């Protein structure tokens, strides 16, 4: 379990680092746009990400 969790965190860090590495100006603009959103909008984005992750896990672990 521990190794799987660390692998998941490592993959998340790799994916999170791709955009600032490959397109820093676009990443900065997206970040500026996100900081201008209201709290409710940011929560909705977070909820959507969590639900997408749960669905993906169900699909992956269901096989």
And the tokens for 6? 């660390």
DSSP string, 24-59: HHHHHHHHHHHHTS-HHHHHHHHHHHHHHHHHHHHH
> How confident is the model at residue 62, as a pLDDT?
86
**Domain spans of the chain, in order of start:** 2-61
Q: Could you tell me which residue, 37 or 61, shows the higher pLDDT?
A: 37
> How confident is the model at residue 63, as a pLDDT?
67
Judge whether residue 23 has pLDDT over 90.
yes
Judge whether residue 60 has pLDDT over 70.
yes
The Cα 47–Cα 53 span in angstroms is: 10
DSSP 8-state symbol, 9: H
> How confident is the model at residue 1, as a pLDDT?
72
Please tell me the number of Cα atoms within 13 Å of 23 on its side-chain side. Answer: 7
Average pLDDT over residues 19-43: 95
């Amino acid at each position: 379990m521990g190794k799987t969790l660390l692998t998941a965190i490592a993959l998340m860090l790799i994916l999170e680092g791709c955009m600032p590495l490959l397109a820093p100006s676009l990443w900065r603009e997206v970040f500026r746009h996100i900081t201008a959103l209201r709290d409710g909008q940011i929560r909705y984005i977070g909820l959507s990400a969590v639900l997408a992750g749960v669905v993906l896990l169900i699909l992956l672990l269901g096989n």
